[in-house]
Homo-oligomer: A and B are copies of this chain.
Amino acid sequence: MRRNAENKTLSEQAADQMIQYIQENGYGPGDKLPTEADLSRLLGVGRNTVREAVRVLASRNIVSVRQGSGTFVSEKQGLADDPFGFSFVEDRVQLTRDLMQIRVMLEPSIAALAAQNAEPEEIRQLEEILLEIEALIEAESDYSEKDTQFHAQIANCSHNTVVSRLIPVISSGVTVFAREVPSEEYKQTLLSHRAIYEAIRTRRAVEAQQAMHLHLLYNENRYTEEIRKENT
């Protein structure tokens, strides 16, 4: 592979050019990009290089290739799958503890921002997720996927673009509590989600922060207790 001064291969350089092209021409998530032949002409590089560049950008979730229909700007906007390599961490208990510790540091402030910055439409979407969680909890079903969505939507409500990218990664990393859960804990989870939502809806930043703090500490405590039981 030929590399230039910056130690980039031709296809990596073409990938950079393609990013610039996407941005300068206002392509958004889901938009179809020009064909390989057109990109080759537009960027002034060979078709093989374009193909390699597309592969690089696809692996970075910047574009997605749909067989038979072409290359599109990815809905994932460059957020990597498993960006921190969690799937490669061996000690799952330590990873879960560390993730919970970060959530306790970060999410109460995010809930406060959400109460302050959320648009009415965003709050409506949050309520929709809440109602789905409540239905799952009433049925004593697994609500972990919806729970991740709930926290992700609060991140969106904060209007901090980095938080929106970070929170789904962190909360989906914590996939525990799959086993039997006593009924009173279901009830506790139901109440704490409702409290967070109500504080955000009524623009009470301090209460949102505290309700989130309580929720996360309760979960952390529950996890510690579970691990303790497993080890005895």
Contact = CB atoms under 8 A, between A and B. Distances in A.
A109 interface: yes
B98 A161 contact: yes
A95 interface: yes
Interface string A1-21: 100000000000000000100
Interface stretch (A73-81, A192-200, A211-219, A223-231): A73-81
Contact of A78 (B78, B82, B160, B165): B82
B80 A80 contact: yes
22 contacts: A1-B67, A19-B88, A23-B88, A59-B60, A60-B82, A60-B85, A77-B85, A79-B83, A79-B85, A83-B83, A84-B165, A85-B165, A95-B161, A98-B160, A101-B162, A102-B160, A102-B162, A102-B166, A105-B109, A106-B106, A162-B170, A166-B166
